[in-house]
Amino acid sequence: MRALRLVSQSLLPFVAGLAVLSMISKGLSGSWAIVLMVAGINIILAVSLNVVNGFTGQFSIGHAGFMAVGAYTAAKITMALRFVQIAGISSDASDQLFFLLALVAGMVAAAVAGLLVGAPSLRLRGDYLAIVTLGFNEIIRVIIENTPFLGQATGISGLPRLTNFVWVGMGVVATVVMAKRLAESTHGRALLAIREDEIAAEAMGVDTTSYKVRAFVIASAFAGLAGGLLVHLIQLCTPRSFTFIKSFEVVVMVVLGGMGSVTGSILAALVLSLALEGLREVQEFRMVMYALLLIVLMLTRPTGIFGTREIWDILPKWGRHRAQGAAGGSP
């Protein structure tokens, strides 16, 4: 029975998501469509970073670096295969297949980068990861700006517009399903245990280093996916899209939504993306606004909007039985 329920639960988001997406993509066009797709890409970034910063309690501030790895890998592949067509199918279908290949390759490349960065730095406890990821983000930018093959500071332009609602939607659903399934599995509980108390987790048989690295690699892969989607949406792949400011933006989304709350990250990513669009005129003040937002948040609600909870834990009607137990018992 339980298995049946879970299977239906797992298929439902995909089916419902695809139906909604195809409707949206027909009804929406122009700049709003782009804004919504960028918001979707930000959701992928925020939710995947939440796996590292929220679930596992580590602090990565270089998500844009992994985005860049995925973006450049995907961009290089689509540019190389731009004039190639698979025989026997339409050129459109052929392009889409190549795009899938490019996105997957971007994810793999970002995951490898995540492994290379994570494996040495996650052996240590504490804030080392923040420093290493910050450095990695800068290193990637410098490498790109000095590599003619990657177009240096100008980047790669003339990319085909392959990202659409269906791709972004599938990416969002895949990321969210990944995060939720992980959180509710044994592996996810091991990650939460590391966040709560690393020494105790280790003493209970959790291989903390291995789990931290795996969480980091998964998050990096999804950052790579977001990068691939973004550059095929704006049709331009430059190092300016993947600076520390972008990394910081994602951290703000995760902190704002609540470390460990998937729905919190989704909501924060949506709100921030739309707010940024509304404030396009004053974009230079973006960093100032982030800083102010964080200060206000830390003063008023340091756990973020939702803390570690999900939206249905807060809305009383959907509340599960958790709150009842949480009241505690007699001493």
Partner 1 sequence: MSEPVLDARKVTMQFGGLKALVDFDLTLMSGELVGMIGPNGAGKTTAFNAITGVYPPTSGDVILLGERVNGRRPHQICMKGIARTFQNIRLFKQLTALDNVRVACHHGHRAGFTAAFLLTAAFLADEERITQRAEEFLAVMGLADKRHALARNLPYGEQRRLEIARALATGPRLLCLDEPAAGMNASEKVALMELIRRIRDQFGIAILVIEHDMRVVMGVSERLVVLDHGVTIARGSPQQVQKDPKVIEAYLGDSYLEEKHIHVPVEST
- R_g of the chain, CA atoms, integer Å: 20
Task: For residue 185, state whether it binds partner 1 (rule: CB under 8 A).
Answer: yes
- Name which of 195 and 286 has its Cβ closer to partner 1: 195
> Cβ of residue 194: shortest distance to partner 1, in angstroms?
9
- CB of 212 vs partner 1, minimal distance in Å: 12
236's CB contacts (< 8 A; 6+ apart) are 155, 156, 157, 159
Task: Tell me how many residues contact partner 1 (CB under 8 A).
Answer: 42
User: Is residue 287 near partner 1 by the rule CB under 8 A?
Assistant: no
Shortest distance, CB of residue 57 to partner 1, whole angstroms? Answer: 10
Burial of 118 (0-12, 13-18, 19+ CB in 10 A): buried
Q: Which two tokens stand for residue 146?
A: 């000095």
Q: Is 201 in the site for partner 1 (CB under 8 A)?
A: yes
Based on CB atoms, which residue is closest to partner 1, 170 or 272? 170
Q: Kindly report the number of other CB atoms within 10 A of residue 326's CB atom.
A: 8
Angle between helices 208-234 and 165-183 (to 10 degrees): 170
Q: How far is the CB of 195 from partner 1 (least distance, A)?
A: 8
104 lies in the binding site for partner 1 (CB under 8 A): no
Containing H/E element for 236?
strand 236-237
Residue ranges in 29-68 that form contacts with partner 1 under rule CB under 8 A: none
Degrees, nearest 5: CA angle 154-37-272: 90
CB of 204 to partner 1, least distance (A): 4
Q: Is 82 in the site for partner 1 (CB under 8 A)?
A: no
Residue 89, classed as helix, strand or coil, is coil
Q: Which residues bind partner 1 (CB under 8 A)?
A: 2-3, 6-7, 10, 177-178, 181-182, 185-190, 192-193, 196-197, 199-208, 214, 218, 308, 321-322, 324-331
